[in-house]
């Protein structure tokens, strides 16, 4: 293991703040998968995005080369965090200065694996996006290992090897789920279960939905949190089902099967009031209503459609779902009305990550193209496009204030809106 701090930055250990000119004071950190609210929406400190995408409106601030990885960059305080897999055998977490891109520390461990089936063609490097608070970064290693690393020093705080400690099945596709932050804990699908893990020592507070994914290997989807039907709950898709879990004790409040080819339920659950949307590979699109039943909650399927999801989680604007599908087309769905409003003729890459700001969507195609889109239920409106990388861009966009971070397969680039 390696945990080293740049000597030039050691005096900054006691200070963990923005310390940057040009960042909106109200702009929140991008601290976890799909942002602070887990829905890829800019809710606070938002600035209107420019009308064009080019090197004058979106200027490059710095670029750092990295080994391969699909993990989204995270931006917390004055630092940017990334994870990578080097030489197909070593996993590395790194911290950089947010303003300059200067390396601050790195922490590494032996822990790579080779994923099976068609996923192998895209590489076997780290996939999970960590979560960061003011004390630690919580990182999922491919071999189903969860680590807490000190954000200031890069030193390991604790580690949990679920297969080693609990004899759980080693996931076929690696640790894919991205941890969800809570005040004193994190939620994650790991060790053949959905579990609540203490931030202090990594011990499991509770675990549920055990072995639900065993016949298909590792879980893909990342949990989210919402109040539905007046009840605070953790929403999660296993390989087989969508469900709600009580965050206090892990009690399964409700669940419903989700049809998918070989259990490929990958998207993050999307909440719209007391309704939920998801789309699966080989299954289609599903719109559910959560109500009260005789013994608690009752889940009802209100609408389905043949449009399949894949890996791209959608964004919701004015009640409309904007989804990049398995067919590589972009779709606008109105689930409340039970309609597909439009689908593009143009095909894009295999994956999009999206961030919404009002009625604007910033979408990063896995082929290295950034698109600025006006969300319009009547038609597909691309405002502008910009090539940002010659390498694949599977990692999720990070956007906060006037900053945009793009992680391609071999590096990370910091941009600034003007």
Residue 17 lies in a domain: no
- pLDDT above 50 (res 9): no
Rounded to two decimals, the pTM is 0.91
Any domain includes 362: yes
Calpha distance 340→335 (Å, rounded) = 8
Q: Is 186 part of a structural domain of the chain?
A: yes
Residue 410 falls in which region: left (phi positive, over 0), alpha (psi -120 to 50) or beta: alpha
Give the rounded percent of residues in the chain with a pLDDT score beyond 90: 76
Say if 298 falls within a structural domain: yes
pLDDT of residue 10: 38
Domain that holds residue 125: 2-7+25-417
CATH code of the domain in which 385 resides: 2.130.10.10
Q: What is the pLDDT of residue 218?
A: 67
Number of structural domains (the chain) is 1
Residue 185 lies in a domain: yes
| Residue 409 CA: distances (Å) to CA of 118, 201, 228 | 18, 32, 37
What are the distances in angstroms from CA 200 to CA 101, 149, 236? 29, 11, 23
24, pLDDT greater than 70: no
Percent with pLDDT over 70 in the chain: 90
Q: Minimal CA–CA distance to 367: which of 356, 353, 381?
A: 353
Is 202 part of any domain?
Answer: yes
pLDDT for residue 2: 43
Tell whether 52 is covered by a domain: yes
Q: How far apart are CA 364 and CA 396, in angstroms?
A: 8
pLDDT of 25 over the 60 cut: no
- 266 falls within a domain: yes
pLDDT tens-digit map of 227-276: 998 999 999 998 889 999 999 999 999 999 999 888 888 899 999 999 99
For residue 28, what pLDDT band results from cuts at 50, 70 and 90? confident
- The tokens for 76 are 């917390």
**Coil/strand/helix, residue 112:** coil
């Amino acid at each position: 293991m390696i945990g080293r701090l740049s000597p030039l930055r050691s005096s900054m250990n006691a200070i963990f703040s923005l310390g940057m000119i040009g960042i909106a004071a109200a702009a929140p950190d991008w601290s976890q998968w799909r942002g602070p609210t887990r829905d890829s929406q800019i809710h606070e400190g938002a600035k209107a995005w420019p009308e064009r995408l080019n090197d004058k409106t979106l200027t490059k601030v710095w670029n750092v080369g990295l080994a391969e990885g699909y993990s989204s960059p995270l931006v917390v305080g004055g630092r940017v965090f990334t994870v990578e897999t080097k030489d197909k055998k070593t996993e590395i977490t790194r911290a950089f200065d947010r303003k300059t891109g200067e390396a601050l520390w790195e922490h590494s461990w032996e822990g790579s694996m080779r994923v099976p089936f068609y996923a192998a063609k895209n590489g076997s490097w780290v996939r999970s996006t960590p979560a960061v608070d003011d004390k630690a970064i919580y990182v999922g290693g491919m071999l189903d290992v969860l680590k807490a690393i000190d954000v200031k020093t890069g030193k390991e705080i604790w580690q949990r090897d679920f297969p080693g400690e609990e004899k759980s099945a080693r996931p076929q596709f690696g640790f894919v789920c991205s941890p969800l932050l809570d005040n004193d804990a994190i939620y994650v699908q790991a060790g053949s279960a959905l579990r609540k893990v203490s931030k202090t020592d990594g011990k499991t507070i509770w675990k549920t939905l055990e072995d639900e994914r065993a016949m298909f290997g590792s879980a893909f989807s990342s949990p989210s949190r919402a109040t539905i039907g007046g009840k605070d709950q953790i929403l999660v898709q296993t390989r087989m089902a969508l469900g709600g879990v009580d965050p206090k004790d892990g009690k399964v409040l409700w669940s419903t099967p989700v049809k998918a080819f070989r259990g490929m339920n990958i998207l993050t659950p999307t909440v719209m009031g007391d309704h939920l949307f998801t789309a699966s590979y080989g299954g289609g699109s599903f719109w559910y209503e959560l109500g009260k039943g005789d013994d608690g909650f009752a889940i009802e399927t209100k609408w389905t459609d043949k449009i399949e999801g894949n890996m791209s989680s959608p964004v919701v604007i004015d009640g409309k779902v904007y989804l990049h599908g398995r067919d590589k087309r972009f779709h606008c769905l109105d689930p409340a009305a039970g309609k597909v409003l439009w689908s593009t003729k143009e095909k894009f890459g295999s994956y999009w990550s999206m961030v919404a700001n009002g009625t604007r969507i910033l979408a990063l195609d896995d082929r290295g193209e950034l698109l600025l889109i006006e969300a319009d239920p009547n038609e597909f409106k691309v405002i502008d496009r910009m090539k940002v990388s010659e390498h694949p861009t599977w990692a999720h966009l990070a956007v906060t204030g006037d900053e945009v971070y793009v992680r391609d397969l071999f590096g990370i680039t910091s941009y600034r809106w003007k």
